[in-house]
Chain A
Amino acid sequence: MLQINEKDTFIKNLYPMTKIWFAFWMVVGIFTFTNYYLSAVVFVAALILIYTEGLIRGFKVLILAAILLGVSLFMIQGILNPSNETVVWEVITGTRFVFYQEGLTVAGNVYSRIVPLIAVLYLAIRTLNMTELGVALNKAGISYRATFVLTSTFQIIPVLKKEMFQIINAQKSRGLNTEGSLLNRMKAFIPLMVPLIQNSMMNVQNQVVALESKGFNSDNKKTYYRDPQKRAIDTFIVLSVALFGVVGIAYRILLYVS
Chain B
Amino acid sequence: MEVKQENNQVRKSATISRKTRTTYALILIPIGIAINVIGGIIAGQLKLPFFMDSIGTIVIAAITGPLIGGITGIMTNVVLGLMHGDVLGMAFGLANLASGVIIGFMAKYGWFKNWIHVALATVFVTLANSFIAAPIVVFLYGGVSGAGVDLVVAGFLAAGQDIFSSAFLARLPINLVDKGIAVIIAFLILKKLPDTMKNLIPPRKAKK
Residues of A whose CB lies within 8 Å of any CB of B are 1, 23, 27, 58-59, 62, 65-66, 68-69, 72-73, 75-77, 80-82, 106-107, 109-111, 114, 117-118, 121-126, 128, 130, 145, 148-150, 152-157, 159-161, 164, 168, 178, 182, 185-186, 188-190, 192-194, 196-198, 200-201, 204-205, 207-208, 211-212, 216-217
Contact = CB atoms under 8 A, between A and B. Distances in A.
A76 B42 contact: no
A69 B144 contact: yes
Contact of A62 (B24, B26, B85): B85
Nearest to A81: B163
B107 interface: no
Contacts of A196: 35, 38
B39 A193 contact: yes
Those 4 A-B pairs whose CB atoms lie nearest each other, nearest first? A69-B146, A110-B142, A122-B85, A80-B157
B58 to A, nearest CB: 11
Chain B residues touching A, range: 35 or more
Given A62-B86, A81-B163, A185-B48, A76 B143 contact: yes
Interface string B166-181: 0000000000000001
A185 B48 CA distance: 7
A204 B24 contact: yes
Given A59-B85, A217-B23, 17 more contacts: A69-B141, A72-B144, A76-B150, A77-B143, A80-B154, A114-B88, A121-B85, A156-B34, A186-B46, A189-B46, A189-B48, A193-B185, A197-B35, A198-B189, A204-B24, A204-B197, A216-B23
B38 to A, nearest CB: 5
Main secondary structure of the interface of B (DSSP, over half): helix
Nearest to B59: A197
Contacts of A154: 79, 82
A177 to B, nearest CB: 10
Contact of A149 (B29, B38, B153, B181): B29
Given A69-B141, A201-B193, A204-B31, A161 B146 contact: no
Interface string B37-67: 1110111011111001001100100000000
B192 A198 contact: yes
B189 A194 contact: yes
Contact of B141 (A114, A178, A204): A114
Contacts of B97: none
Contact of A76 (B48, B49, B83, B154): B154
B19 interface: yes
A153 B118 CA distance: 28
A27 B37 CA distance: 25
B29 A68 contact: no
Contacts of A80: 154, 157-158
B30 interface: yes
B162 interface: yes
A125 B27 contact: no
B152 to A, nearest CB: 11
Q: Most chain-A CB neighbours within 10 Å: which of B39, B52, B84, B142? A: B142
B40 to A, nearest CB: 11
B188 A164 contact: no
A130 B82 contact: yes
A73 B163 CA distance: 12
B23 A114 contact: no
Contacts of A157: 33-34, 37-38, 79, 83
B136 interface: no
20 contacts: A65-B146, A73-B141, A73-B146, A76-B144, A82-B160, A106-B142, A109-B142, A114-B140, A121-B88, A125-B81, A125-B85, A149-B30, A150-B75, A152-B27, A155-B30, A160-B37, A160-B38, A168-B42, A194-B189, A200-B35
Contacts of B24: 204, 208
Nearest to B76: A153
Nearest to A77: B142
B87 interface: yes
A185 B47 contact: yes
A185 B46 contact: yes
Interface in B177-202: 181, 185, 188-189, 192-193, 196-197
B55 A148 contact: no
A165 to B, nearest CB: 9
B8 interface: no
